[in-house]
Chains A and B, each alone.
Chain A
């Protein structure tokens, strides 16, 4: 048992040894913008509004997400579909759909409440911006392009019930969360670091 006092030179030398040893060890740092850690497969990040394979919106403007949201971050204003302009397979569609990402706590309750799997959380997490206003994501930024739709709309199916409920997020995502997603920086795709939680 080493004596614990100010003049314990052995302890001082041992301490120097530790720092010297660590100097040559591999550093665990991930060079963030250029290298990214792969996140958990069900990471809760930025929202996305999905479509069916035929390009129709999944959202039927029921406002369940907005009611269940514990942070009051979601605003939905529904409108009636008209026969000549059918946006969604149901009677109604979301005329306005806005999520305040600054209020959002990324709990995923909206995703669970949604009866048509329209709103899902993607693993994207880099949303920083300079203005509060630009973090209120409206429909134009939330909705996926028509070609990224998944699943058969209920109109085409007997019984009218979507068969893919609960698996939409995994079926086809604009961000493939089995692979992680490619880190981008100023529009360039950078190397993705595949280590960390999702490693298997």
Chain B
């Protein structure tokens, strides 16, 4: 079946289009249920049952939430810059979604449905896109013409710059070990052992910066409900708020996918359990990561802003750089 009509090798545009549409649907649905999962797990951790009124076990909650967001009034503040204000949610969402074009969910190649494309600079492409995603938050807060969103977007910009550096540094160690920037290549380089073992420092730094990168608690200073009344999205309502919301969760999913691909061996099966298909292992690892996120959120209080900055610049960045240098030396001498 190496030349079947649906093989990714065949770059028929409509095959790619259909696969993209399906993937879009899957990602949005995953977002919806990730949200329900988060509310459930957070509820359990706070001794509550979580949403359970809509549908059996609360399973229709995402649908109801979506209807609610769509029906809400769409407000634009008088002081807002109308064009940028309306554009910002789309920047966030589109960049968040575009990342999935290059994420391979299983071994790409002939006869495999689970990847849209295998870009040879995949990880760089993802980093570039997620950096653009910050513009959505920054512009949205700035264009709202209101003080809390402005503070939120200033924080977003500062936080992103600080943590994206450490994040990229922690990823370069993996790139040196794998010797490639192709995501599929990195996963295949982990056939023997997963990179979180030799790159444990990089892995830890990545996990921390990923939380900061997606503006999740305890690094959610951009939103900071308590001080900034929701931060950059204070003035947004209805579906525009919904777009930011979707983008946040999809970014969560993205960094979980990256962690899985770069550190946890992607679709490689642990303990030689190869009878389970790779896609299942991939999804299990991503789900574990998502759970870890929720776990963090329901455990830790928000950082103080100066400590966040100090932690980023004085701890994460030097340690990530050191990790990178040591990895480079080890690979150069013994590699």
CA distance A19 to B300 in the complex (A): 10
CA distance A31 to B49 in the complex (A): 9
Contacts across chains A and B counted by CB atoms under 8 Å: 35
Chain B contacts with A in 16-54, Cβ cutoff 8 A = 41, 44-49, 52
A→B interface (CB under 8 Å): 6-7, 12, 15-16, 18-20, 22-25, 27-29, 31
8 of the cross-chain contacts (CB-CB < 8 Å) are: A15-B299, A19-B299, A22-B46, A22-B47, A23-B44, A25-B47, A27-B48, A27-B49
Interface of B is mostly: helix
Interface centre among B45, B48, B295, B315 (most CB of A within 10 A): B45
Per-position binary interface string of chain B over residues 176-211, scored 1 when its CB falls under 8 Å from any chain A CB and 0 otherwise: 000000000000000000000000000000000000
Q: Contact between B300 and A12 (Cβ–Cβ < 8 Å)?
A: yes
Contacts A6-B311, A12-B300, A16-B299 given; indicate if A23 touches B45 (C-beta within 8 A): yes
Measured CB to CB, the closest approach of chain A to B53, in angstroms, equals 9
Q: Contact between A22 and B49 (Cβ–Cβ < 8 Å)?
A: no
Task: Pick the contact of B44: A12, A15, A27, A28 (CB < 8 A).
Answer: A27
Q: Is B298 an interface position by the 8 A CB rule?
A: yes
New contact pairs (14) apart from A15-B299, A18-B299, CB-CB < 8 Å:
A6-B307, A19-B45, A20-B295, A22-B44, A22-B46, A22-B47, A23-B41, A23-B44, A24-B44, A27-B47, A27-B49, A29-B47, A29-B49, A31-B49
Per-position binary interface string of chain B over residues 279-305, scored 1 when its CB falls under 8 Å from any chain A CB and 0 otherwise: 000000000000000011011100000
CB-nearest residue of chain A to B298: A19
B residues less than 8 Å from A15 (CB atoms):
299-300
CA distance A23 to B48 in the complex (A): 9
CA distance A19 to B295 in the complex (A): 7
CA distance A25 to B300 in the complex (A): 19
CA distance A23 to B38 in the complex (A): 12
Task: Pick the contact of A22: B45, B300, B307, B315 (CB < 8 A).
Answer: B45
A residues less than 8 Å from B299 (CB atoms):
15-16, 18-19
